[in-house]
Structure 1
Amino acid sequence: MTTTPGERIPATGRRRRFDLHSTAMQFGLLAVLVLMLGLVARVAAGAIGRRPGWIAVLALLAVFAFLAVRRRRRRRSVAQLARTTADALDRATGTAMDELETEPAPATDLPASAPEPTVALPPLPDYDAMDADEFEQAVAELCERDGCTGVEVVGGAGDLGADVLAVTPDGRRVVLQCKRYSATNKVGSQDLQRFGGTCFTVHEAHVAALVTTSDFTAPALEYAEQCGILCVDREALLAWTLGAALPPWGAPAPA
């Protein structure tokens, strides 16, 4: 076969020319695919032991990866392969998120807290509704409750200022005078003077106290302090009744 100068013979079986841009795009896409598959595998590995459905998700990813490689061998376009891989990853991610949202929270058995014990308060007597004799009896019962012996109500005509007599647990003699007064009628210094004239000399008291449902005037408190008489007003009486305060013989006597 004779050829003329300048005439080129077409090449048969010539290899396709190497395309650097297309090859770089393919390798970059493959790297992104590997990273995304690794991320999905890492998310699924934490829950695969608890949710068997993750096995199906991983199998689905493997199938799509196999199809992507197979199609790449058939020289599919880079854009079509990226679209297919993105759709597969989107479906796999959606399935994984559904599995996580529907996963039941582990049940925790919390111990039942024991109910707090309730403290029953003693009933508070209505001292205002009592007469003088009933009030003296109520004070005597307080003395018996707190351990006194020989408790005796001696109030009345000729009592010489003593309404309740008792002996404390440590052997001291207690002499109490009871004044069931209204809130507006305070115990004055004259009441203290009459009681102070007999409680120590006649009744030989170790502890002398005047108990009232009212209050004391300032001169009465001053006289009681001078004579060593304990003054139990309404507030102190209620505290003694509820057990929130010491009985009169438990408090230090005035000097």
Structure 2
Amino acid sequence: MLASLLAAAVAAAPLLAASPLDTDHAAVLYALQNDVGGGCPPDVTRKAAQDASIRSLGHVGDDEVVLASVESPCICGAQNCPYYVIRLTAGNPRVLLSTFGISARTRAESPLPRIVVDAHDSALVVDETTYAYRDGKYVGVDSVRVRASDNARKPQEVPVRFAAGASSARLSGSIANGWFDTYTFAAGKGQKVQVDGVSSKAHLTLTLFGGPDVITSRPLTPGVPFTLPKSTTYRLMVDCDADHDTPYALTFAIR
């Protein structure tokens, strides 16, 4: 029993001896403890907060708002690390944005700037998301994929737009291996989706994604209908095996 108490005291000593954090870094510690840092040892989380890079974004009322960048092997993903926007309300810091990325920059806007976060997707692609201050918090207002080789850009997702009274739509674009297009649509359980009229010089890979409790992924075969298992928003990913940009077109139907 005594040995256990001594071990606990020794483990706690570094935390007790640590210098108090200033207001900004204490707010980062609060954000980490209530987010991804909660799964790391307390001393590691505290050190990550202490070493966080912080820049001021401006003020809302009397409160300063800061952008914090955290780097720690325990807390970061394989490439992406946490970014927080925190409103430093006295005694009650509020996290206005929590996201992951490899870099962040700002664009002027009132009362607080927009924040553009780049996140690693693959060796080929960076995901770029723009956040704006709306109704007391930061929300995503734009999201694009950026190809590293030539800075080509395309939307993360494109809604399928059906003409009035129509149940099918012609989808087209230009893709390469890993530089795919993603379409979204809302549908009900029991409805059937089907792809037909495929035109492309490359072999297309068509994959349907649903929510985590629906299907992880489902390959679609042109001309073969698939019955949807649940009412939700689905994503159709169109990829190919070509090393260079290749045009395609197809007809997507839902009934």
Question: Which of the pair has more CA radius of gyration?
Answer: 1
Q: Whose strand fraction is larger, Structure 1's or Structure 2's?
A: 2
Q: TM-score, normalised by structure 1?
A: 0.23
Q: TM-score, normalised by structure 2?
A: 0.23
